[in-house]
Amino acid sequence: MKPMVMHPWDLCETDAIKLQQQLASKVIKQDQFDNIIHVAGVDVAYSKHSNTLVAAVVVMDACSLQVIETVVAEDIVQFPYIPGLFSFRELPPIVKAFENIKTTPDLVVCDGQGIAHPRRFGLASHLGVLFDIPTIGCGKTKLLGKAEEPGVKRGDCAPLLDNTEMIGNVVRTQDHIKPIYVSIGHRISLLTACEWIVKLAPQYRLPETTRYADQLVRKALATYIKSEESGEWKADY
């Protein structure tokens, strides 16, 4: 896969914010896709011993949740840690990983925010606009907004509000388990996004796409750390 939108990554904070504001206008908040056959999850892990980060993409069958393909890519951190601008740190290796996958996903679930973001352009929206692909933001914690606690049953939701604007839902994926935060990324409605997150989380709090991508980056990062002394890096997953 190749990005449909290209832009530089070595930006100062002010220019990065301006770019977010510009690209946020391209986010589509309605369902705009055909059948969802393959769904992907993405995650990024950071090395505590160097400025290396590792990204993983896992592609699954949307019905059986069987893994179809995985790709790992590593990169060097090039953007500082600034809340609200995480996509500028994490997307470069994610883009590298997407460029190497052979199975094009119909939907991508990101471990992060979509429009539930100060400028309505979190990592999920950024990735969706770059590749013009349906994406969902699915975060373990919220970045901003207020919400009531949803009901205790699987599938129960409560609106996540920034002042009076609805920017996502707090979703209970398992009975009596801590909820997660779901928002539109790109080319999907909030209702459909929440339905997919519940469907992709048949047993655990987090969707299988996120769980598997997290396991993959942790394993790849551990392999990378062990190989640092030898000066060789090879991920084979």
CA distance 172 to 147: 13
The β-bridge relationship of strands 135-139 and 107-110 is parallel
User: Using the 8-state DSSP alphabet, how is residue 151 labeled?
Assistant: P
Q: Residue 111 annotated as binding?
A: yes
- Asked if residue 167 lies in contact with residue 146, where contact means CB atoms within 8 angstroms, the answer is no
Neighbours of 211 (CB within 10 A): 19
**Which element (helix H / strand E) includes 129?**
helix 123-131
The DSSP line for 34-65 is S---EEEEEEEEE-SSSSEEEEEEEEEETTT-
> If we measure between CA atoms, which residue out of 115, 124, 114 comes closest to residue 90?
124
For 96, the 3-state DSSP assignment is helix
User: Cα-flanking dihedrals φ and ψ of residue 55, to 5°?
Assistant: -115, 150
State both tokens at 24. Answer: 């946020």
Cα separation of the two ends of the chain: 19
Instruction: Calculate the CA 100 to chain-centre distance.
Output: 17
43 is in an annotated binding site: yes
Facing residues of 61 across strands?
Answer: 38
User: Where is the binding site, in residues?
Assistant: 43, 111
User: Where is the binding site for Mg(2+), in residues?
Assistant: 43, 111
